[in-house]
Chain A
Amino acid sequence: AQRVTQPEKLLSVFKGAPVELKCNYSYSGSPELFWYVQYSRQRLQLLLRHISRESIKGFTADLNKGETSFHLKKPFAQEEDSAMYYCALRPSSNTGKLIFGQGTTLQVKP
């Protein structure tokens, strides 16, 4: 079964604290993994792809195939990071399917 699990509905941290948003997936093949961010009532925006291994807005994510995880990390949270974060899995590149986790709301307090 193809599944993405984000175990935390809400993660609340203080400004300047480290952040880790957890994502675990279930898939037998080699998936593409993404993190999307949604600021209040706006459209989803691509934050990271595991293939590109880049850092956007200070966020990084490493694919751990052994633990089937793709956790999102940032060393120092900023108030503007407050948003909903979705982890997503694409089973293969020739499909239109993108499977999302339930989402985690990140709240960064001043």
Chain B
Amino acid sequence: NAGVTQTPKFQVLKTGQSMTLQCAQDMNHEYMSWYRQDPGMGLRLIHYSVGAGITDQGEVPNGYNVSRSTTEDFPLRLLSAAPSQTSVYFCASTQGAGGYTFGSGTRLTVV
């Protein structure tokens, strides 16, 4: 039981490049979310999903895209990377009531 797995752990992108951050969970959780963590700002919700095929925007969705084709996977796509997207990204999942399980994070630098 791996929990929530995020790949890659580190990534450096050039401005304008696109990439996908992967997130997979093996707990059959319905709910999954993506957050970005920035100093002094806590964690801010980017996108979330309440089940396969259903996604919605969070607080800071601009520049990011998501899809949920299966219960297990919830990839986050950066369409055209900008320096403002330099951050640590966390994926999390939960099954209804109860706390979220977080992945170990992806540290992204956009130059």
CB of A93 within 8 A of CB of B40, answer no
Cα of A32 to Cα of B44 in the assembled complex, Å? 18
User: Between A and B, how many residue pairs show CB distances below 8 Å?
Assistant: 61
Main secondary structure on chain B at its contact with chain A? strand
Question: Within 8 Å CB of B35, what residues of A?
Answer: 100
Interface residues of B in 81-111 (CB under 8 A from A): 90, 92, 94, 96-105
Query: How many B residues touch the partner, as a band?
Result: 20 to 34
For A32-46 the 0/1 string (1 means CB < 8 A from B) is 101010000011111
Q: A96-B48, A97-B45, A98-B45 are in contact. Are A46 and B33 (CB under 8 A)?
A: no
Q: How far is the CB of A95 from chain B (nearest CB, A)?
A: 7
Q: Which among A9, A42, A98 is the interface contact of B100 at CB below 8 angstroms?
A: A98
Instruction: Say yes or no: is A102 at the interface (Cβ < 8 Å to chain B).
Output: yes
Q: Determine if A44 and B102 form an interchain contact, defined as CB atoms under 8 angstroms apart.
A: yes
Given contacts A34-B99, A44-B90, contact A96 B50 (CB under 8 A): yes
Q: B40's contact among A34, A36, A42, A102, by CB below 8 Å, is which?
A: A102
